[in-house]
């Protein structure tokens, strides 16, 4: 992967940015001495330009990237990842694992309060995890807690967790937003109106399809944020977000489109950060004709992944196999067709009884992330050359998520999150008990056994071998077509200080940011 790099964009683009400022005059987002009372002290109000509104304030059910970015500011989990993807203290300040790996004792932070003023303790953790495990909650990370057999609060700030088997991925799983802690008496029916978390910010205002504004939590255990407010302002078009940056109406934005990011000029700094998240084509293996592995392999062999990366993201990224975590990374050539092979694709179709080709439908999100439609159109064109006609259905993000959760598609262009540990990434998708197995539409007894072996093994080298086997199995069965990982392009005005983009894509670092 490329390292994070900071770039100043070309002078021509910078000139465009200056012209935009000249046309708009003194824009509302620009802080001046007059606005701050004349003493030069900057107001600590950050405006972030985003292209979509959030669809949930519930951390346990949120799947939309924009919602995750907002909710990360409001909630906390027991474990946090550092910049190198090592698990470290969050709401748990330390933990110990028994010699047999079956008991984990967490020492919880004292003096932590929720945004409603109530005190955080071990009972809140137990209640949260039990609610996440309840199928009626429909929590996206329920499978992350599958190895937990029992929990006991031995005192208000000590939690003893008993596991059904050793779980080497446990701390990675407990770092996700989907395992965030809410009060034991939380009313889930009211969370969308009154979210209660332990994060650095609280909900101040929400104007649907316009903005979400958060206010700093002065009692945040990490330390009170320097920023007083963060406004996530909805600007539906990324080019319009660029204009807003140039005009000073917003001070920060995160782009996933290299073309758009290259147009940000003037004094705006753009930092490029590699991400773990995977651009994939999900196949519904439970629906004909995708229930035939030969059809799935035909699709895999017909796709030129480098071509998709080039057309959708200007080549800014890396072709991948199933696992993107640096410690377990898949070899992207370890698949039945290491390179595009249209003739082999046609042979697979013939083996499945489709010598004359077939027709399929594909859904793609038109407003959630910028490369989806370009990916879909490129794949559509490539598959046509192998005799697979594809009808593309562009969907707005809310409809797309509903269809995705219901597995209501033949194929779905998707951007799926990834974790530092592959069990945390895929255990919920490709095991028969995974809570998102219906979405993945694929599991086997062999995969179940391999995932169990992988999470139970403590030796790092042995785990690498197990997940390499899982990766190869997934490529041979092709329930998904793994395409590429891309980059985040974090654009910041010069007055934004202290924010460091993370490879996880998390915006947790806003708690360290300030306006200078």
* Same domain assignment for residues 400 and 420: yes
* Same domain assignment for residues 268 and 320: no
Q: Over the Cα atoms of the chain, what is R_g? A: 23
Structural domains in the chain (count): 3
Q: What is the CATH number of the domain that holds 243?
A: 3.40.190.10
- Cα of 221 vs its chain's centroid, Å: 25
Alpha carbon separation from 320 to 100, 147, 199, 305, 324 (Å, rounded): 35, 29, 34, 9, 7
Confidence grade of residue 252 (pLDDT, cut at 50, 70, 90): very high
Confidence grade of residue 40 (pLDDT, cut at 50, 70, 90): low
Q: What is the CATH number of the domain that holds 330?
A: 3.10.105.10
* Same domain assignment for residues 303 and 390: yes
* Same domain assignment for residues 325 and 405: yes
Confidence grade of residue 274 (pLDDT, cut at 50, 70, 90): very high
Confidence grade of residue 48 (pLDDT, cut at 50, 70, 90): very high
| 8 A C-beta contact, residue 57 and residue 162 | no
Listed in sequence order, the residues at least 6 apart from 230 whose beta carbon sits closer than 8 Å to its beta carbon are 46, 47, 48, 73, 201, 213, 214, 510
Convert the pLDDT of each residue in 423-445 to its tens digit: 999 999 999 999 999 999 999 99
Taking residues 152-157, what's their average pLDDT?
98
Tell me what the pLDDT averaged over the chain comes to: 91
* Same domain assignment for residues 185 and 217: no
The DSSP call for residue 194 is: S
Q: What is the CATH number of the domain that holds 145?
A: 3.90.76.10
Tell me the three state secondary structure of residue 114: coil
What's residue 41's pLDDT?
Answer: 62
CA atoms within 13 A on the CB side of 264: 34
The DSSP call for residue 327 is: T
Convert the pLDDT of each residue in 339-353 to its tens digit: 999 999 999 999 999
| Pairing label, strands 229-234, 45-50 | parallel
Convert the pLDDT of each residue in 118-134 to its tens digit: 999 999 999 999 999 99
* Same domain assignment for residues 233 and 381: no
**87/97 Cα distance (integer angstroms):** 14
* Same domain assignment for residues 263 and 170: no
pLDDT for 29 beyond 70: no
* Same domain assignment for residues 308 and 450: yes
**Greater model confidence, 41 or 280:** 280
Supply the range of the domain harboring residue 128.
79-190
Convert the pLDDT of each residue in 84-127 to its tens digit: 888 999 999 999 999 999 999 999 999 999 999 999 999 999 99
* Same domain assignment for residues 227 and 120: no
| Pairing label, strands 487-492, 269-274 | antiparallel
**Tokens representing 224?**
């009170």
**221/241 Cα distance (integer angstroms):** 33
* Same domain assignment for residues 403 and 353: yes
Which residue, 190, 213, 228, sits at the end of a domain? 190
What's residue 309's pLDDT?
Answer: 97
* Same domain assignment for residues 302 and 378: yes
Nearest to 180 by CA among 55, 61, 54, 88: 61
**Tokens representing 471?**
């990766």
* Same domain assignment for residues 204 and 168: no
Taking residues 30-43, what's their average pLDDT?
48
* Burial degree of 250 (CB within 10 A; 0-12, 13-18, 19+): buried
**151/159 Cα distance (integer angstroms):** 7
């Amino acid at each position: 992967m490329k390292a994070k790099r900071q770039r100043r964009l070309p002078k021509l683009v910078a000139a465009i940015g200056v012209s935009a400022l000249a046309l708009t005059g003194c824009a509302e987002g620009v802080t001046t001495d007059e606005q701050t009372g004349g003493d030069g002290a900057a107001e600590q109000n950050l405006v972030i330009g985003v292209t979509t509104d959030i669809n949930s304030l519930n951390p346990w059910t949120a799947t939309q990237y924009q919602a995750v970015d907002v909710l990360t500011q409001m909630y906390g989990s027991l474990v946090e990842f550092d910049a190198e993807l090592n698990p470290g203290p969050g709401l748990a300040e330390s933990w110990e694992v028994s010699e047999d790996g079956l008991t984990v004792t967490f020492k919880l932070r004292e003096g932590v309060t929720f945004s409603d003023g109530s005190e955080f303790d071990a009972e809140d953790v137990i209640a949260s995890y039990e609610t996440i495990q309840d199928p009626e909650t429909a929590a996206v990370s329920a499978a992350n807690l599958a190895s937990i057999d029992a929990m006991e609060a031995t005192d208000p700030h000590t939690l003893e967790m008993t596991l059904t088997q050793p779980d080497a991925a446990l701390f990675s799983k407990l770092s996700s937003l989907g395992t965030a802690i809410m009060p034991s008496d939380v009313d889930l029916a009211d969370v969308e109106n009154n979210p209660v978390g332990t994060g650095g910010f609280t909900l101040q205002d929400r104007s649907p399809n316009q903005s979400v504004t958060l206010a700093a939590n002065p009692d945040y255990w990490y330390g009170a944020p320097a920023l007083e407010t963060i406004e996530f302002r909805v600007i539906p078009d990324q080019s319009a977000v660029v204009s807003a940056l140039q005009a000073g109406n917003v001070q920060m934005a995160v782009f996933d489109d290299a073309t758009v990011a290259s147009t940000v000029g003037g004094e705006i700094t753009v930092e490029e950060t590699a991400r773990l998240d995977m651009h994939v084509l999900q196949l519904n293996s439970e629906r004909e004709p995708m229930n035939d592995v030969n059809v799935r392999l035909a699709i895999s062999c017909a796709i030129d992944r480098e071509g998709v990366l080039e057309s959708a993201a200007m080549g800014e990224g890396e072709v991948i196999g199933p696992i993107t975590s640096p410690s377990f990374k898949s070899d992207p050539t370890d698949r039945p067709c290491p390179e595009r092979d249209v003739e082999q694709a046609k042979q697979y179709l013939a083996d499945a009884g489709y010598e004359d080709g077939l027709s399929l439908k594909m859904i793609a999100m038109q407003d959630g992330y910028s490369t989806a439609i370009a990916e879909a159109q490129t794949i559509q064109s490539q598959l046509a050359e192998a005799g697979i006609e594809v009808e593309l259905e562009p969907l707005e993000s809310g409809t797309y998520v509903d269809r995705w959760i219901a597995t209501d598609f033949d194929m779905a262009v998707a951007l799926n999150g990834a974790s530092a540990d592959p069990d945390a990434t895929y255990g919920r998708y490709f095991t028969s008990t995974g809570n998102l197995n219906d979405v993945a539409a694929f599991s086997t007894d062999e995969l179940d056994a391999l995932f169990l072996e992988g999470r139970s093994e403590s030796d790092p080298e042995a785990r690498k071998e197990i997940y390499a086997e899982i990766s190869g199995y997934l490529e041979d069965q092709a329930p998904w077509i793994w395409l590429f990982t891309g980059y985040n392009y974090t654009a910041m005005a010069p007055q934004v200080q202290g924010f460091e983009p993370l490879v996880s894509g998390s915006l947790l670092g806003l708690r360290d940011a300030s306006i200078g």
